[in-house]
């Protein structure tokens, strides 16, 4: 029986007879060519190599590159130091004479501290006291505005000014934050207290709590003919209210209206008028 023999050409091919050193040198040559090509691409910035040792790999898409650029623009460069704080210029300023006292002095006259070399810590403490007062009583002022139509900004500014941000002896001892006086000759014992006001003695109403003082202030303005015309003004017209209160004689200070406006604008109390 005839047998069929298969002849493998590869066995007798020239490659099979090539020296062993040639087989070793050929892969090295291709590696060198590939290394040269990669070096050229990196040098020409056509290829970037990122080493990530976090254990996770992520393909950077064009969307990711854009997001990283946005993120970089929002994060400050800490190597350049902290950005300079933005200082907002006061909208209103009443120039107060040297020796003026009160927690609201620096809110009424922001330039007072610089002109009189006041300790910055004292200024910061006074402004903090005013801010705490506003934070505490703003909800009460807004409630009174909604019920009686008096701008919340006016209520807060008067409270700050009349009570020295709640730190005056009158405010501390009687809860009277608006300087409301007692004009009755037949008031009950404990109804009022004697305090100095504008260099002379006056009797001021004593309240059980500060909220009662705010409500009495609203009723005082609402029920007095002297202030009746103010309720025809828009509730956001704090300037008109300030001028009207001063003109009607709420206080004897000739700069009373300007001080109220300065407090409202510099402390942004008018924002509560939109509540």
71-100 pLDDT per residue, tens: 333 333 433 444 443 444 556 679 999 999
Answer whether residue 61 is part of any domain.
Answer: no
pLDDT exceeds cutoff 90 at 138: yes
Pairing assessment for the beta strands 200-205 and 192-197 based on DSSP bridges: antiparallel
Least confident range of 13-27, 77-91, 237-251: 77-91
Phi first, then psi, for residue 128 (nearest 5°) are -65, -40
| CA distance to 162, 163, 191, per residue, from 197 (Å) | 11, 12, 18
Question: 165 and 32, same structural domain?
Answer: no
Mean pLDDT on 217-225 = 96
Answer whether residue 63 is part of any domain.
Answer: no
Answer whether residue 139 is part of any domain.
Answer: yes
Answer whether residue 59 is part of any domain.
Answer: no
> What whole-number distance in Å separates Cα of residue 247 and Cα of residue 192?
27
**102 vs 184: which has the higher pLDDT:** 102
pLDDT exceeds cutoff 60 at 191: no
> What whole-number distance in Å separates Cα of residue 172 and Cα of residue 165?
10
Answer whether residue 134 is part of any domain.
Answer: yes
Answer whether residue 173 is part of any domain.
Answer: yes
Structural domain span for residue 200: 105-274
Answer whether residue 235 is part of any domain.
Answer: yes
Number of domains within the chain: 2
pLDDT exceeds cutoff 60 at 19: no
The burial class, CB within 10 Å (0-12 / 13-18 / 19+), for 54 is: exposed
142-187 pLDDT per residue, tens: 999 999 999 999 999 999 999 999 999 999 999 999 999 886 666 6
pLDDT exceeds cutoff 50 at 39: yes
Answer whether residue 77 is part of any domain.
Answer: no
Question: 111 and 44, same structural domain?
Answer: no
> What whole-number distance in Å separates Cα of residue 191 and Cα of residue 168?
19
What pLDDT is recorded for position 33?
A: 79
Last residue of a domain, one of 49, 68, 88: 49
Question: 110 and 24, same structural domain?
Answer: no
Mean pLDDT on 234-253 = 94
What pLDDT is recorded for position 77?
A: 41
Question: 174 and 43, same structural domain?
Answer: no
Question: 262 and 140, same structural domain?
Answer: yes
**89 vs 243: which has the higher pLDDT:** 243
Q: What is the CATH number of the domain that holds 150?
A: 1.10.530.10
Question: 154 and 38, same structural domain?
Answer: no
CA distance from start to end of the chain: 112
> What whole-number distance in Å separates Cα of residue 242 and Cα of residue 253?
12
pLDDT exceeds cutoff 80 at 27: no
Question: 29 and 159, same structural domain?
Answer: no
The mean predicted confidence, pLDDT, of the chain is: 78
What pLDDT is recorded for position 44?
A: 60
| CA distance to 2, 8, 219, per residue, from 5 (Å) | 10, 10, 123
């Amino acid at each position: 029986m005839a047998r069929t023999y298969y002849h493998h050409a590869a066995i007798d091919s020239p490659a099979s007879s090539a020296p062993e050193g040639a087989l070793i040198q050929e892969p090295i040559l291709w590696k060198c060519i590939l290394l040269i090509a990669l070096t050229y691409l990196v040098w020409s910035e056509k290829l970037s190599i990122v080493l990530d040792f976090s254990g996770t790999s992520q393909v950077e898409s064009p969307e990711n590159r854009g997001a990283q650029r946005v993120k970089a623009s929002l994060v400050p460069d800490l190597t350049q130091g902290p950005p300079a704080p933005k200082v907002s210029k006061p909208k209103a300023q009443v120039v107060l004479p040297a020796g003026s006292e009160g927690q609201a002095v620096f809110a009424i006259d922001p330039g007072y501290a610089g002109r009189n070399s006041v300790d910055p810590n004292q200024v910061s403490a006074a402004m903090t006291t005013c801010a705490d007062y506003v934070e505490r009583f703003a909800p009460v002022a807004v409630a009174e505005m909604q019920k009686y139509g008096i701008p919340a900004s006016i209520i807060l500014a008067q409270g700050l000014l009349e009570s020295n941000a709640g730190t005056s002896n009158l405010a501390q001892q009687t809860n009277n934050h608006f300087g409301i006086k007692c004009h009755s000759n037949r008031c009950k014992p404990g109804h009022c207290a004697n305090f100095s006001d504008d260099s002379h003695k006056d009797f001021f109403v004593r309240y059980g709590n500060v909220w009662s003082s705010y409500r009495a202030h609203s009723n005082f303005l609402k029920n007095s003919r002297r202030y009746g015309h103010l309720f025809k003004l828009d509730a956001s017209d704090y300037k008109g209210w300030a001028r009207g209160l001063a003109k009607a004689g709420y206080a004897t200070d000739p700069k009373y209206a300007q001080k109220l406006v300065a407090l409202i604008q510099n402390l942004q109390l008018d924002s509560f008028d939109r509540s």
